[in-house]
Amino acid sequence: MFNEREHERFISPIELQRREYRRMKTVRSVLISCASFLVFSFLIWWILSRSEGWELVRKMYFDPKHLVASAPQVFKGILVNLKILGAALVGTAVLSTLLAITRTTKSAALFPLRLVSLLYTSIFRGLPMIVVLYLIGFGIPGLNIFGRIDKNLIGGICITLVYSAYVAEVLRAGIEAIHPSQRAAARSLGLSHTQTLRIVILPQAIRKVVPALMNDFVAMQKDVGLVSVVGAVDAVRQAGIYTAKTFNYSSYVFAGLMFICMSLPFVLLTDWYAAKVRRREQMEGAV
């Protein structure tokens, strides 16, 4: 404690030199990367603007007039995407947890359940999203047992079915990474099997796989853009409607921008969290 204070007060000339040198190096790297960014951007612009079709492409995709004109409609669509995303998120959380828990059971009596969830995760991780959307989106209403089903709901169900398979595998890896002694400790205190899972195992398991879960969430945000296939009037569909009227594709660019805006906070959050975990692990390694 006392020593640290001493160090703060007195810094040797050698250390001052070192700090000065490091600062100079930092400044130099920043300047270099800024310069290369500018050069690179200029090059791209130069190539594009000299290409023959550029004028046409700019008009078709980046026309400010159309970007603005399509905005209200596409924005209304993105709200539909958000709604579906929210529902799918809740659905996925529930279904994937159930799948992961079933897959990590050990008892012989539960073998059929284990088999079912193994089949489920294997099948739905192999099926392309678009195939699931076509099969479920048109197959289930075709059965005609539930009456008319809301298109948004069907989209949400498809997303849930596919993503639960991925998230279940991530969670299972997390659960299996928890040492069995944690379970023994919980059970020895008198906690039931379910209490042990809920209070001791799952919270630790989820913590271990947060970065992977966040990645899946970002992927899910983007795949929500596919629900227009089953007829949901989302941002992509709205952009399509606009294009059909005006023969201009700027509405799709706007929709793309909206999707990026939607996922950007989580992409940044994921990176930040991953870096934080890495730092903490490195610190633990050093001790």
Partner 1 sequence: MNPGAPVLQLAGIRKSFGPNQVLRGIDLTVHEHEVVAVIGASGSGKSTLMRAINLLERVDDGQIFLSGQDISDPRVKEDLVRAQIGVVFQHYNLFPHMTVLNNVTLASRVVRKLSREEAEARGMELLTRIGIAEKAKKYPDQLSGGQQQRVAIVRAILSDPILLLLDEITSALDPQLVGEVLDLVMELKLAGKTILMATHEMEFARRAADRVIFLHEGRIAEDGPPAQVLGNPQQQVTRDFLSRLYNFS
Binding site for partner 1 (CB under 8 A): 181-182, 184-192, 195, 199-200, 203-204, 207
38 token code pair: 């500018």
Query: With respect to partner 1, which residue has the nearer C-beta, 12 or 188?
Result: 188
Minimum Å gap between C-beta 138 and partner 1 is 45
Cβ–Cβ < 8 Å for 224, 85? yes
Give the shortest CB-215-to-partner 1 separation in angstroms: 22
Of 32 and 185, nearer to partner 1 (C-beta) is 185
Between residues 191 and 241, which has the closer beta carbon with respect to partner 1?
Answer: 191
Q: Which is nearer to partner 1, 123 or 184 (by Cβ)? A: 184
Q: How far is CA 38 from CA 25, 34, 165, in A?
A: 20, 6, 44
To the nearest whole angstrom, how small is the minimum distance from the Cβ of residue 164 to partner 1? 24
* CB-CB contact of 74 with 251 (8 Å): yes
Min separation Cβ 190 and partner 1, Å: 3
Whether 193 and 180 have beta carbons less than 8 Å apart is answered as: no
SS3 label, residue 82 = helix
CB of 187 to partner 1, least distance (A): 6
CA of 255: how far to CAs of 235, 240, 249, 259, in Å? Answer: 6, 10, 10, 6
| Cβ atoms of 152 and 83 closer than 8 Å | yes
Neighbours of 17 (CB within 10 A): 10
Minimum Å gap between C-beta 210 and partner 1 is: 12
Give the three-state DSSP class for 192.
coil
At closest approach, how far in Å is the CB of 109 from partner 1?
14
Nearer to partner 1, 164 or 196 (CB): 196
**b/e 259-269 (16+ beta carbons within 10 angstroms → b):** beebbeeeeee
In the bound state with partner 1, the residue whose beta carbon lies nearer, of 24 and 199, is 199
Q: In terms of CB distance, is 43 or 189 closer to partner 1?
A: 189
How far is it, in rounded angstroms, from Cα 48 to Cα 144? Answer: 52
Q: Is 278 helix (H, G, I), strand (E, B) or coil?
A: helix
